[in-house]
Amino acid sequence: MGLTEISARLRAAERAAGRAEGSVTLIAVSKVQPAERIEAVLAEGQRVFGENYVQEAQAKWPAWKDRYPAVELHMIGPLQTNKAKAAVELFNVIHTLDRPSLAEKLARLAEARGVSPQLFVQVNTGVEPQKAGVLPADADGFVDACRVMGLPVMGLMCIPPDEQDPVPHFALLRSIAERNGLPCLSMGMSADFEQAVAHGATHVRVGSAIFGARDYGARG
């Protein structure tokens, strides 16, 4: 696969869904990928990237951001409160706002810096005990609380359970976003981004289908 094919499939999925061409943002998820693969994708023109680990992103991205000032970085992994300051300094968008303590920390940082990354609230649509995200039943209240704190919540994000049809999860996320007046939906990965677009995704997070399989053994 690769960037060209995935971009073409994304445009086709937009057309099939009756969505405007270019209306879905492709986030190239570069976690754990070797530098040469990321540089190749930068050279092909991709500017929106997703990372899961603050420290890894801090080590990789400042130099590329200098070379490619239009780079936009999205934090898509669980965010520890003690890494929030580093995260807001590096990332343009955070997709994993999932608890009150993190919201309070991000609000304090936004006040001190006069600016905040755009935010997505992560929803644990499958109610999986090991997975991050607010429960669907708590989502409305949490979004309200974030708004009261002045946080720029743009939308919702989910990671459907492995080995399940993702479509009911995409539909649930969309219905929660609609009733809360949130315009953005971060959903869909390599295996299911076209289905996500059909169900209203505005941001898809595609890693291995662009870069190839991740080799966790080669890290560090």
Site residues (vs ligand PLP, CB under 6 A): 29, 31, 52, 76-77, 159, 189-190, 205-209
Nearer to ligand PLP, 7 or 208 (CB): 208
Nearer to ligand PLP, 75 or 139 (CB): 75
- Write down the least CB distance from residue 159 to ligand PLP, Å: 5
Q: How far apart are CA 196 and CA 200, in angstroms?
A: 6
Q: Which residue is nearest to ligand PLP (CB)?
A: 207
Query: Strands 48-51, 93-97: parallel, antiparallel or unpaired by DSSP?
Result: unpaired
Nearer to ligand PLP, 118 or 190 (CB): 190
- Write down the least CB distance from residue 137 to ligand PLP, Å: 22
Q: What is the DSSP string of the chain?
A: --HHHHHHHHHHHHHHTTPPTT-SEEEEE-TT--HHHHHHHHHTT--EEEES-HHHHHHHHHHHHHH-TT-EEEE-S---GGGHHHHHHH-SEEEEE-SHHHHHHHHHHHHHHS---EEEEEB-TT--TTS-SB-GGGHHHHHHHHHHTT--EEEEE--PPTTS-SHHHHHHHHHHHHHTT--EEE---TTTHHHHHHTT-SEEEE-HHHH----GGG--
- Write down the least CB distance from residue 15 to ligand PLP, Å: 22
- Write down the least CB distance from residue 148 to ligand PLP, Å: 27
Contact 78, 97 (CB under 8 A): no
Nearer to ligand PLP, 110 or 155 (CB): 155
- Write down the least CB distance from residue 213 to ligand PLP, Å: 8
- Write down the least CB distance from residue 41 to ligand PLP, Å: 13
Nearer to ligand PLP, 88 or 94 (CB): 94
- Write down the least CB distance from residue 69 to ligand PLP, Å: 25
Nearer to ligand PLP, 49 or 142 (CB): 49
Q: Nearest-5° angle of CA 97, CA 133, CA 109? A: 15
Nearer to ligand PLP, 47 or 214 (CB): 214
